[in-house]
Amino acid sequence: MVSKGQPSNERRQSLNTRSRTTQLVFSSIMMCLITIATMFIRVPIPFTQGYAHLGDAMIFLSVLILGWRYGAVVAGVGSMLADILGGYAVWAPWTLCIKSVMAIIMGIFIARALKKERSHRFLLFVEVIGMVLAGIFMSAGYYVAEAVIYGNWATPALAIPWNIGQFTVGMVVAITVAAALYKTSAAKYFEYRLDTRA
C-alpha cells in the first residue's frame, strides 16, 4: 500500500520521464538557437580567419536553463555545427572542445557558489562571474587554436579583444533575457534558480 503523502512508483516514473523529455526538448531548442545565432549573426574579425557572433549569449542562457551537463553538450555541438555548416570546418573540433568546457566552467562555478549562499542578488553576481570566467577561457582557447592551426602566434592576438567583446555582449543579452524570464512562469524551467521566497 502506498501512503497518501507519497507518489506511487508509476507516478514517480511518469514525472521522471516528463522531466527527461522536457530536458531533451529544451536541449534541442537551445542547440538550434546556438547554431543560428553563431551562423547568421556574425562579424568577420579583421586580419584573422575568425568571426564574432551572438552564439555565446545562447550558450550562457543554455547553461542557466539546462545546467552544466546538458549545457556543455548543446554548447559544444551547436557551435560545432555552426562552424561546419558555415564553412569553417577546420575550427569544428576546437570549437566542440572550447565551447563545451566554457559551459562546464560557468555551470560548475554557479552550482558550487549557490551552495554557500542563496539570494537573488548573489545569484546575479555568480552568473556574471561564471560568464566572465567562461569567456576568458574561450578567448584563450581560440587564441591557442588559431595559433596552432595557422602556425602563427602573433596574429591571433588581434582576435582577443573581439572575443572579449563577443562574450561581453553575450553576457548582457543572456542576463537581460534571463532576468525577464525569471519574472514569468518560465522561471521554473531554469536549472539555476531560487525559490521566490529567497
Task: Express each pLDDT in 120-148 by its tens digit.
Answer: 889 899 999 999 999 999 999 999 999 99
pTM passes above 0.85: yes
What pLDDT is recorded for position 52? 87
pLDDT of residue 10 exceeding 70? no
pLDDT of residue 197 exceeding 70? no
Q: Is the distance from CB of 42 to CB of 83 less than 8 angstroms?
A: no
Task: Express each pLDDT in 156-168 by its tens digit.
Answer: 999 999 999 999 9
Residue 107: name the closest of 127, 93, 90 by CA.
Answer: 127
Percent over 90 (pLDDT), the chain: 69
Residue 70: name the closest of 79, 59, 84 by CA.
Answer: 59
The mean pLDDT of the chain is: 88
Task: Find the length of the chain.
Answer: 198
Q: Is the distance from CB of 74 to CB of 62 less than 8 angstroms?
A: yes
CATH number for the domain whose boundaries are 14-189: 1.10.1760.20
Domain boundaries, the chain: 14-189
